[in-house]
Amino acid sequence: MEDTTSLIQEITSQFQRSGHDLQRIQKSIQDIRDTEKARQEMRQDARALLLSSRRNVDPESLKHEDLMIELDQQKFSTAKAIQDMDQDIASLEAEVHQLRMQSLELDSSGRKATNASGTAGDSSGTKRRSSSKGAVDQDGDTMDDEENLLDDAAHASAVLRLQLYRALGIEMLEDDLGVYTKARIRSKSKNDVHLVKFDDQLSPFYQTNLVWEFAS
């Protein structure tokens, strides 16, 4: 019985805390409460500061900032679309040129066959003279046709580019020699007109950005 009592007392003493331990526990609890209170106060201060800053912001300035962001996005989208269209135009020009060259080759082959059959009954000397003269004439006609086709393709490409620029509010202006030296730019968003003079001393990158800045 005494052994049992001693064992119970020993176990109970292990669960008992000293006054110093209790003070440490209470201090820790108080520190936790103080920290939580300070955190709540900081959260309230931050919320009040945010509400105050929102009230002080001018709504018109926010609208202007949103508009500028939207215009920048439109400018980059338009520049990307123009770049894609330029690539498509170059691809189509190459394809049209290839098809027209094939057409010229077929036409030249047909004319050679016609000339050969038409001169079959002539004398050999006449054949040689006719063949030589016909070959020179055909080569000259082929070269003229190729040059005309290239000129037509270049003209069509230039017209398409001018139409595209005009749709974007950019009008190219010629000088007395027929060279495009200026551009009249109309901005629908800003409702104004600018005149840009192209200068060889300025980089193409700078002049392009200047045009898009006025057009946006």
Is residue 107 domain-shared with residue 88, that is, in the same domain?
yes
Q: Is residue 156 part of a domain?
A: yes
Distance CA 114, CA 128 (A): 16
112 and 182 assigned to the same domain: no
The one-letter code for the residue type at 33 is R
Domain presence at residue 106: yes
Q: What domain count does the chain have?
A: 2
The whole-number pLDDT of residue 206 equals 82
Say if residue 81 is in the same domain as residue 143: yes
Q: What is the pLDDT of residue 65?
A: 75
- Kindly state whether residue 28 falls inside one of the protein's structural domains: no
- 109: alpha, beta or left, given left = phi > 0 and alpha = psi -120 to 50? alpha
Q: Is the same domain home to 163 and 198?
A: no
CA distances from residue 137 to 105, 130, 143, 147, 205 in whole angstroms, order as listed: 15, 10, 10, 15, 47
Give the tokens for residue 203.
């980089």
Same domain, 179 and 154: no
Instruction: Please give the torsion angle defined by the CA atoms of residues 114, 120, 121 and 127, in that order, rounded to the nearest 10 degrees.
Output: 100
**Of the candidates 60, 82, 89, 61, which has an alpha carbon nearest to the alpha carbon of residue 215?**
82
Beta bridge partners of 193: 186
User: Along the 216 residues of the chain, how does pLDDT read in single tens digits?
Assistant: 556 666 666 655 555 555 555 666 666 777 777 777 777 788 777 777 776 666 655 566 667 777 778 877 777 777 777 777 777 777 777 776 676 666 666 656 655 555 555 555 554 444 445 444 454 455 555 556 556 655 666 666 677 777 777 877 888 888 888 888 888 888 777 788 888 888 888 887 888 778 778 877
The answer to whether position 24 is within a domain reads no
The pLDDT assigned to 110 comes to: 56
Shared domain for 161 and 85, answered yes or no, is: yes
- Shared-domain flag, residues 162 and 184: no
Across the strands, what pairs with 196?
183
This prediction has a pTM of 0.34
The answer on 175 and 152 residing in a single domain is no
Q: Is 96 domain-assigned?
A: yes
Are 198 and 106 part of one and the same domain? no
- Let me know if residue 142 belongs to a domain: yes
Residue 102 included in any domain: yes
- In terms of residue numbers, what domain contains 80? 62-118+129-168
Q: Do 150 and 205 have their domain in common?
A: no
